[in-house]
Structure 1
Amino acid sequence: MTWRAPEITRTPEPHVGDERTMLEGWLDYHRQTLLLKCAGLTAEQLRTPSVEPSGLTLLGLVRHLAEVEAWWFRENFAGERVDYPYYTPDDPDADHDVSAADAEADFATYHREVALARAATDGRSLDETFTEIGPKRRTFNLRWVYVHLIEEYARHNGHADLIRERIDGRTGE
């Protein structure tokens, strides 16, 4: 049987709540939107690029956002040492190379990274600060990470919308 990206029921975005509820709710809404754009597609369809010259694919976005979750929540904020599944110093954009990717395994990696990101922030204050890894050494707080990831998902979900429409004509949601 051919593997297909699982169907998903997206939880509506929050309309009322405290700051943490709103940030977590909107981030989850965008995480689920990405999965909704992939739902029902085969591994081959998930590897279908948008339009030339771009090689952007839905599977590449899933892989990229798994590493974004790990980078910001776990490695930077929580100070964990992360073994990235795709990134290497020789090929920092390997998350977008889906030519030999295993879509089912990549979706499992994505779900695992989201769960680990949730665990890394559980009970932590939005005001808690950290210094970014790398040469810039900027200081951020957890609140910034949530806002940044909401922005990043929203931008990539726009890409996902166009890619999905090209694959099978499905739009919206």
Structure 2
Amino acid sequence: MILPDAYRRGPRLVPAGASRRGERTVTTERIGPPLTGGERETLRAFLDYHRATLAMKCDGLSDEELRRQSSPPSTLSLLGLVRHMAEVERTWFRKVVNAEDIPLVWSDSGDYQVAYDAGSSTRAEAFAAWQREVEHSRRIERAAESLDVTAHNARWGEDVSLRLVMLHLIHEYARHNGHADLLREAIDGTVGA
């Protein structure tokens, strides 16, 4: 298997993509995952890599640009993705793994779709909530004895391991970072990263 350049040299800062309107300013640091780390270290690094990718996709944009919807009738926006990932982090780490009885960030009724509606949201509000949930997730993951720790996912009616939770989060970020690629390109022509 041939690995992309981002992974060949191990941990390092990966540069952001270029804009068709010129170079963009990078404010988010993104470190490539290790090539020879253990399982937990590698999962943690890939999750942080994808978290940083989402933040990089939002670098340098105004609140209005971050709220710009993809293409009607879709309401998808970069800010909506940040809000959604705050809910995903909160649900999987705090509600499932840590068994906290808490509502979603933006919906007391448990409606995950509410997070996508970023029409009145701001970068400050969305990123503060997302970063707060990421920090909770990191704390919970580090405190867990092993990746084999299990918790009950009530929505699925099944027990899940921390390993599955971390892999699921990587999957969620990777999928939504693909959406973020398209959203960012439509805003200012920035590609890559």
Q: TM-score, normalised by structure 2?
A: 0.82
2:95 equivalent to 1:75: yes
* Alignment partners' CA distance in 1, 2:29 and 2:92: 26
Structure 1 stretch displaced more, 86-95 or 101-110: 86-95
Aligned match of 1:3? none
Please report how far the alpha carbon of residue 54 of structure 1 lies from its aligned counterpart in structure 2 after TM superposition.
1.2
- 1:9-158 aligned within 5 A: 9-89=29-109, 91-124=111-144, 125-134=146-155, 136-158=156-178
Please report how far the alpha carbon of residue 9 of structure 1 lies from its aligned counterpart in structure 2 after TM superposition.
1.6
Task: Give the direction of change, closer, same or farther, for the CA distance of 1:91–1:143 in structure 2 (3 Å limit).
Answer: closer
Number of aligned residue pairs: 167
* Alignment partners' CA distance in 2, 1:80 and 1:171: 39
- The structure with more radius of gyration: 2
Please report how far the alpha carbon of residue 130 of structure 1 lies from its aligned counterpart in structure 2 after TM superposition.
1.1
Please report how far the alpha carbon of residue 90 of structure 1 lies from its aligned counterpart in structure 2 after TM superposition.
7.4
Partner secondary structure for residue 160 of structure 2? strand
Q: Tell me, which stretches of 5 or more residues in structure 2 are unaligned?
A: 1-25
Partner secondary structure for residue 108 of structure 2? coil
Percent of pairs identical after alignment? 44
Paired residues of 1:131 and 1:140 also in contact (CA < 8 A): yes
Paired residues of 1:165 and 1:171 also in contact (CA < 8 A): yes
* Alignment partners' CA distance in 2, 1:84 and 1:11: 30
Paired residues of 1:128 and 1:141 also in contact (CA < 8 A): yes
Partner secondary structure for residue 29 of structure 2? coil
Q: TM-score, normalised by structure 1?
A: 0.92
* Alignment partners' CA distance in 1, 2:117 and 2:78: 11
Runs in 1 of length 4+ with deviation above 6 angstroms?
Answer: none
Partner secondary structure for residue 143 of structure 2? coil
Paired residues of 1:47 and 1:60 also in contact (CA < 8 A): yes
Q: Tell me, which stretches of 5 or more residues in structure 1 are unaligned?
A: 1-5
* Alignment partners' CA distance in 1, 2:68 and 2:35: 35
* Alignment partners' CA distance in 2, 1:18 and 1:123: 17
**Alignment root-mean-square deviation, CA:** 1.4
Structure 1 stretch displaced more, 96-105 or 153-162: 96-105
